[in-house]
């Protein structure tokens, strides 16, 4: 755990978050400023800054959890698909590796790299997290 890292604090349970999935190696939680409701960030529990630094032992599990989240977006949120992306250093708002998994539907307004962020209404984040957790078991 890196001191002062907000994602390490979430992974350690020290900072509350709307957690969607937890394993020994990873935690997925809702982005507090989502592109669309259900927008999830997947992070390794181990403090890793960029994808090139991700240890080989975590690579397969990281992709597996991304796949599971992408499927859950369709299964329980009614999305037609998903957007899966990560930044490395440039545009990385928190220096801890994180993958964005975002539910998408045709005509949802997301174009190119202009990403208008929104906020959840009171209680809405918990509802979306519960729906995704139900699909991920």
pLDDT (tens digit, 0 to 9) for every residue of the chain, 137 residues total?
788 999 999 999 999 999 999 999 999 999 999 999 999 999 999 999 999 999 999 999 999 999 999 999 999 999 999 999 998 888 888 999 999 999 999 988 887 665 667 788 999 999 888 988 888 87
Range of the domain at 16: 6-136
Sequence-ordered list of residues with C-beta below 8 angstroms from that of 37, at least 6 positions apart, any chain: 77, 103, 118, 120, 124, 128
Measured in degrees and rounded to the nearest 5, phi and psi for residue 10 equal -65, -45
Domain-located, residue 93: yes
Q: What is the total count of domains within the chain?
A: 1
DSSP codes of every residue in the chain: --TT-HHHHHHTTSS---EEEE-SSEEEEE-SS-SSTT-EEEEESS---SGGGS-HHHHHHHHHHHHHHHHHHHHHH--SEEEEE--SSTT-SSSS--EEEEEE-TTS--BTTB-----PPTTHHHHHHHHHHHHH-
Write down the pLDDT at residue 41: 98
> Would 100 be classed as within a structural domain?
yes
Per the domain annotation, does 1 fall within a domain? Answer: no
Contact indicator for 8, 57 with CB cutoff of 8 Å? no
Tell whether 95 is covered by a domain: yes
Assign residue 58 the CATH number of its domain.
3.30.428.10
Any domain includes 57: yes
């Amino acid at each position: 755990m890196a001191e002062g890292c907000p994602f390490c604090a979430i992974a350690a349970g020290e900072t509350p978050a709307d957690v969607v999935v937890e394993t020994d190696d990873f935690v997925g939680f809702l982005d507090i400023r989502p592109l669309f409701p259900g927008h999830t960030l997947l992070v390794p529990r181990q403090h890793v800054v960029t994808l090139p630094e991700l240890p080989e032992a975590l690579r397969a599990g990281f992709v597996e959890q991304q796949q599971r989240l992408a499927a859950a977006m369709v299964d329980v949120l009614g999305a037609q698909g998903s957007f899966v992306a990560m930044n490395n250093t440039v545009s990385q708002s928190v220096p801890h590796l994180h993958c964005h998994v975002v539910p998408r539907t045709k005509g949802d307004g997301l174009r190119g790299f202009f990403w208008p962020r929104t906020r959840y209404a009171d209680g809405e984040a918990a509802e979306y997290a519960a729906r995704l957790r139900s699909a991920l078991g």
